[in-house]
């Protein structure tokens, strides 16, 4: 497709209608909407990237209690950060969070930059997150365009191009910038409105124009996707990535009240987290195959087969392996299925 300027038709009063909608029906009591410092906004934006609001609500204050400032977060070890992130998935976010805090401390005198372009140069901060921090914490004029916002704009303007292509996302970015309110005092309500409207009304499935329980949609009369009955086609869904099937063996080796864990490599599934070893040196004690279970990641379906062994003597440690007391494993950075599996095991009693 040749480079061309996309002309978006005018949707009368979109910006003002969205601001009015946010003031009346948007979200106003989320913890990160109070005391909007760059650190608090940034943390919430990263947490919300791939985790539901209900989960983040349970974890946000807890995380801030342990790491109340960017300084404390930067001074922590990556293991401490991963441990606090346990169960939220997509652990690259936690590692980038840590690297970003260190960069703010060393390169920016402990203060998050206010320029969205500079924010974007920090680890783990994309263009939309940089804009959100710049708007909410510093009142800057910048456009957000996360997945929810793409859906809202694409539907209302009937933008049915493939959004995995840079050309098309750039067209949507320009459109998002053109829609920004002129009054600085409206920027926060407008940006929050886009987020809230996408998350609660113009949802991927059953948006408000179809599901009356979600309330009415102020853009129904001009929404191209609705008027042309293409809500399910816009935004365009590209072919799904093939799901990779993975078989994984967990050697659950127990000695007295201790369990053997191995830190996973820095790249790949559950990078840098603690898990059971996938292989073991020959042990003489009898092993017991436990029921296999499935765990699904975005593009992977894993079948995990645990094998339990009660050792009379400790085995020789391999690289990155360590014995941990069962009382201490909860404080480690563990993948979610590990935490659930450990909770389901009565290892101490079994080991008696
Ligand atoms: S009419 Fe439906 S699809 Fe269009 S903006 Fe409203 S909720 Fe979204």
259-292 pLDDT, tens digit per residue, is 999 999 988 889 999 999 998 776 778 888 999 9
CB 325 within 8 A of CB 257: yes
- Say if residue 340's pLDDT is above 80: yes
CB 250 within 8 A of CB 278: yes
Q: Give the distance from CA 96 to its chain's centroid.
A: 12
Sign, CA dihedral 279-282-284-289, equals: positive
Residue 346 banded pLDDT, cuts 50, 70, 90: low
Any atom of ligand 1 within 6 Å of the Cβ of 220: yes
CA distance 327 to 338: 15
Average pLDDT over residues 198-204: 95
Coil, helix or strand at residue 324 = strand
Any atom of ligand 1 within 6 Å of the Cβ of 335: no
The total number of residues written for the chain in this structure: 352
Best residue among 21, 217, 230 to mutate for probing ligand 1's pocket (most ligand atoms within 8 Å of CB) is 217
- Say if residue 1's pLDDT is above 50: no
Query: What backbone phi and psi angles, to 5 degrees, belong to 39?
Result: -65, -45
Any atom of ligand 1 within 6 Å of the Cβ of 207: yes
Which residues on neighbouring strands pair with residue 304, listed in sequence order?
248, 293
Q: How far apart are the CA of 67 and the centre of ligand 1, in A? A: 39
Q: Give the distance from CA 259 to its chain's centroid.
A: 30
Question: Which pLDDT belongs to residue 220?
Answer: 93
Question: Which pLDDT belongs to residue 339?
Answer: 87
Question: Among 11-15, 56-60, 108-112, 164-168, which stretch is predicted with the lowest mean pLDDT?
Answer: 11-15
Question: Which pLDDT belongs to residue 343?
Answer: 82
Q: How far apart are the CA of 36 and the centre of ligand 1, in A? A: 30
Residue nearest to atom 4 of ligand 1 (CA): 223
CA distance 91 to 332: 13
Question: Which pLDDT belongs to residue 2?
Answer: 42
CA distance 133 to 4: 31
Mean pLDDT of the chain: 91
Residue 115 banded pLDDT, cuts 50, 70, 90: very high
Q: What is the DSSP letter of 197?
A: I
Tokens linked to 68: 């109340």
Question: Which pLDDT belongs to residue 347?
Answer: 52
pLDDT digits (tens, 9 = 90+) for 219-266: 999 999 999 999 999 999 877 678 899 999 999 999 998 999 999 998
Best residue among 179, 204, 207 to mutate for probing ligand 1's pocket (most ligand atoms within 8 Å of CB) is 207
Cis peptide before 118 (omega within 30 of 0): no
CA distance 5 to 185: 30
Tokens linked to 169: 């996302």
Average pLDDT over residues 120-136: 98
CA distance 332 to 324: 10
Question: For the chain, which domains are there?
Answer: 14-227 (1.10.340.30), 244-351 (3.90.79.10)
Which residues on neighbouring strands pair with residue 305, listed in sequence order?
249
pLDDT digits (tens, 9 = 90+) for 142-198: 999 999 999 999 999 999 999 989 999 999 999 999 999 999 999 999 999 999 999
- Say if residue 3's pLDDT is above 50: no
Any atom of ligand 1 within 6 Å of the Cβ of 151: no
pLDDT digits (tens, 9 = 90+) for 17-57: 999 999 999 999 999 999 999 999 999 999 999 888 999 99
313 closest CA partner among 323, 327, 328, 326: 323
In the chain, where do the E strands start and end? 244-255, 258-263, 274-275, 287-289, 293-297, 300-310, 321-325
Any atom of ligand 1 within 6 Å of the Cβ of 150: no
Question: Which pLDDT belongs to residue 313?
Answer: 86
Residue nearest to atom 8 of ligand 1 (CA): 202
Percentage of the chain with pLDDT > 90?
75
Q: Which residues contact 115 (CB under 8 A, 6 or more apart)?
A: 134, 140
Q: How far is CA 233 from CA 195, 210, 229, 275, 313, in A?
A: 21, 15, 9, 41, 61
Any atom of ligand 1 within 6 Å of the Cβ of 224: no
CB 343 within 8 A of CB 287: no
């Amino acid at each position: 497709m040749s480079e061309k300027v996309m002309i978006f038709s005018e949707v009368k009063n979109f910006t003002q209608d969205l601001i009015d909608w946010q003031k009346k029906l948007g979200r106003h009591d989320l913890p990160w909407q109070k005391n909007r410092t760059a650190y608090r906004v940034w943390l919430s934006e990263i947490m919300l990237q791939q985790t539901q609001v209900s989960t983040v609500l349970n974890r946000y204050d807890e995380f801030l209690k342990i790491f109340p400032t960017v300084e404390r977060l930067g001074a922590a070890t990556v293991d401490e950060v991963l441990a606090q992130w346990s169960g939220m998935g997509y652990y690259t976010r936690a590692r980038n969070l840590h690297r970003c805090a260190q960069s703010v401390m060393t390169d920016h005198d402990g203060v998050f930059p206010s320029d969205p372009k500079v924010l974007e140069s920090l680890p783990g901060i994309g263009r939309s997150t940089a804009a959100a921090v710049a708007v909410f914490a510093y009142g800057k004029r910048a456009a957000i365009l996360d997945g929810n916002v793409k859906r809202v704009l694409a539907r209302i303007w009937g933008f049915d191009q493939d959004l995995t292509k840079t050309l098309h996302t750039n067209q949507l970015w320009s459109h998002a910038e053109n829609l920004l309110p002129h009054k600085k005092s409206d920027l926060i309500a407008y940006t929050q409105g886009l987020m809230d409207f996408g998350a609660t009304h113009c949802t991927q499935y059953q948006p408000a124009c179809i599901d009356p329980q979600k309330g009415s949609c102020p853009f129904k009369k001009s929404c191209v996707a609705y008027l042309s009955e293409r809500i399910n086609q816009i935004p365009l869904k590209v072919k799904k990535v093939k799901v990779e099937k993975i078989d994984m063996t967990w050697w659950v080796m127990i000695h007295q009240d201790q369990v053997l864990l191995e830190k996973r490599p820095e790249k790949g599934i559950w990078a840098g987290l603690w898990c059971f070893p996938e292989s073991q040196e020959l042990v003489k004690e009898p092993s017991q195959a436990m029921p296999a279970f499935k765990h699904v990641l975005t593009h992977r379906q894993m079948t995990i087969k645990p094998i339990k062994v009660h050792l009379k003597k400790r085995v020789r440690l391999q690289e990155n392996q360590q014995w941990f007391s069962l009382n201490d494993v909860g404080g480690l950075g563990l993948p979610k299925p590990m935490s659930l599996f450990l909770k389901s095991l009565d290892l101490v009693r079994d080991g008696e």
